[in-house]
Amino acid sequence: MARHWWKALAILLLLYVIIAGFTIEIPIIGTNGQSSRGLFFHVPMWLCMYTMFTISVVNSLRFLSGYDLKKDVYASTAARVGILFGVLGFATGSLWATYTWGGTLTSDPKQMCTAIALLIYMAYLVLRLSIHDMDKRARISAVFNIFAFALLIPLTYIIPKMVDSLHPGSATTPGFSEKDTDHKMMMVLYPAFIGWILLSVWIYTLAVRYKKLELKNIFK
Amino acid sequence: MKKNNPIQQTLTLVKKDLLLEMRQQYAFYGVLLYIVSTVFVINLMMGKPEDKLWNALFWVVQLFVAVNAVAKSFMQESKGRLLYFYSLVHPRYFIAAKLIYNIILMVVMSLIALGASIMLLGNPITNPGYFVSVVLLGGVSLSLLFTMLAAIAAQANHSAALMAIMGFPLILPILMLLSNISVSAFLTVFQPDLPRMFWLLGGLDFLVIALSLILFPFLWKD
């Protein structure tokens, strides 16, 4: 039971985030109104996505250094869970954009860049499906994964910072932090980061265990 | 001259690729015809497009030319021949040779595409020297990225469709940068972070070269 304390923590933190996230008093920032509450659900999704993609690329590197097929299972599962959180982040962001930017799919660079990032990882999954030999699939997709991750950093981190975006916190649009003077939003946001990341790791471990059961003839 | 130093080996491989290209001219003329007919189709459909559209269409043509020209650099190698090379040279020199060869190929193709576009779609360029250098830089960037992707696709059953699936999302940021940079060749626009975009493009190219040299040996371990 001692090993599972972090799962209980994840549930408690998420319960707190959901209840407090919808009920605490938040500062009204510009035209955002109550839609700022999306922050507690939207921003953590990206952190989960990056956590998963980092786990994925680290396991790809470990695979290439030792050719252990288990590492490939870790890498592909993490990529899949990462895409799930990426899609959720995109969906929560688009929902917010519908009411504040006036369009679900705008040509805002941040939205476009994340859509491209998701496409890159979907290409990774398609690449995996197209190769039938397991060892070869593991090797080639590990190479592509490292290649994609290296290009993902400039794409989602450097380019959106350079161009002007409507997204809060970019070049000319102020973020939420300076308006949140009594740090009420921070009190929910930081637990939300931890809670959602723990949940993503939990989902990831479950998916890995399922995958290992599927392939139990190979991993003896 | 020593025969087995790395630069010599790489250059020999480049020379071999160029020689093959000279002898089997059908591939070169195939891509040439591809460029001209693509541009001609655009001309038939919309005549002479305006500046912004011209720029966008030109980069789309470049993208498809790059996919077609670079993809075949690995597909024309038969399995037996690849095995032969594997026994002769280190994979790093092999991918270096392919990168150099594809850069040469794409530079030529880019200039041809530029010529065809100017002839058939009109010439809205006000700053030709600048635009030509951006086109050459773009050709190099596209060829570098697609060389590595062609190497990956060649391992996965030589599927050209797969290359498009993998390549388009990865190439999009580079293409967006290029089309943003090249806008200055048509209009006098205020672009305060133009130098930064050049640096970013150069940095991405450097990153792709480094990753190709590091990762290709893993691809080749059959």
Per-residue pLDDT tens digits for B121-138: 888 888 888 889 899 999
Euclidean distance between CA atoms A76 and A57, whole angstroms:
9
Domains contained in chain B, number: 1
Residues of chain B with pLDDT > 90, as a percent, come to 14
The residue with greater pLDDT, A122 or A166, is A122
CB proximity A11 to B under 8 Å: no
Rounded to the nearest angstrom, the minimum Cα separation between A26 and chain B is: 37
The C-alpha angle with vertex A101 and arms to A99 and A106, in degrees rounded to 5, equals: 115
Q: State the average pLDDT over residues A120-128.
A: 90
Instruction: Copy the structure tokens of residue A99.
Output: 């009411």
Q: What is the pLDDT of residues A31-67, one digit of tens each?
A: 667 777 888 888 899 889 999 999 999 999 999 998 8
In a domain, B146, yes or no: yes
In a domain, B67, yes or no: yes
Domain that holds residue B70: 6-219
CB nearest A130 (choices: B156, B169, B176)? B156
Rounded to the nearest angstrom, the minimum Cα separation between B116 and chain A is: 31
Best to test chain B binding among A126, A147, A155, A157 (most B CBs inside 10 Å): A147
What confidence score (pLDDT) does residue A171 get? 53
Q: State the average pLDDT over residues A118-140.
A: 88
Nearest to A44 by CA among A7, A3, A10: A10
Q: A–B: how many Cβ contacts below 8 A?
A: 75
**pLDDT, averaged across chain A:** 83
The residue with greater pLDDT, B191 or A143, is A143
What confidence score (pLDDT) does residue A169 get? 63
CB-based contacts of B180, cutoff 8 Å, min separation 6: B191, B197
Contact between A154 and B204 using a beta-carbon 8 Å cutoff: yes
CB nearest B169 (choices: A116, A131, A142)? A116
Q: State the average pLDDT over residues B77-84.
A: 74
Of A33-47, A127-141, B119-133, B186-200, give the lowest mean pLDDT range.
Answer: B186-200
Given a contact cutoff of 8 angstroms between Cβ atoms, the answer to whether B117 and B30 are in contact is no
Of A165-169, B38-42, B79-83, give the lowest mean pLDDT range.
Answer: A165-169
Rounded to the nearest angstrom, the minimum Cα separation between A86 and chain B is: 15
What confidence score (pLDDT) does residue A205 get? 93
**Model confidence at A75: pLDDT above 80:** yes
User: Which of A106-120, A150-164, B95-109, B172-186 is predicted most confidently?
Assistant: B95-109
> In which region does residue B190 sit, left (phi positive, over 0), alpha (psi from -120 to 50) or beta (all else)?
beta
What confidence score (pLDDT) does residue A208 get? 93
Of A205-209, B99-103, B132-136, B167-171, give the lowest mean pLDDT range.
Answer: B167-171
Q: State the average pLDDT over residues A196-201.
A: 92
**Model confidence at B222: pLDDT above 70:** no
What confidence score (pLDDT) does residue B68 get? 83
CB proximity A162 to B under 8 Å: yes
- Maximum pairwise Cα distance, chain B: 57
Euclidean distance between CA atoms B176 and A92, whole angstroms:
26
CB proximity A153 to B under 8 Å: no
The residue with greater pLDDT, B42 or B9, is B42
What confidence score (pLDDT) does residue B1 get? 45
ipTM above 0.85, yes or no: no
- Quick one: pLDDT band at residue A81, thresholds 50, 70, 90? very high
The residue with greater pLDDT, B159 or A137, is A137
What confidence score (pLDDT) does residue A190 get? 87
* Distances from the Cα of B203 to the Cα of A4, A50, A152, B50, B150, angstroms: 44, 22, 14, 31, 21
What confidence score (pLDDT) does residue B23 get? 80
Give A146's contacts in chain B (Cβ within 8 Å): 211, 215
Q: State the average pLDDT over residues A82-94.
A: 91
In a domain, B17, yes or no: yes
- Quick one: pLDDT band at residue A82, thresholds 50, 70, 90? very high
Euclidean distance between CA atoms A126 and B220, whole angstroms:
21
What confidence score (pLDDT) does residue A177 get? 61
- Quick one: pLDDT band at residue B71, thresholds 50, 70, 90? confident
In a domain, B75, yes or no: yes
**Model confidence at A135: pLDDT above 80:** yes
- Quick one: pLDDT band at residue A117, thresholds 50, 70, 90? confident
**Model confidence at B104: pLDDT above 70:** yes
The number of beta carbons lying within 10 Å of the beta carbon of residue A177 is: 13
Given a contact cutoff of 8 angstroms between Cβ atoms, the answer to whether A204 and A52 are in contact is yes
CB-based contacts of B28, cutoff 8 Å, min separation 6: B21
In a domain, B101, yes or no: yes
* Nearest residue in chain A measured CA to CA from B205: A151
In a domain, B1, yes or no: no
**Chain A contacts in chain B segment 44-103 (CB below 8 A):** none
What confidence score (pLDDT) does residue A206 get? 93
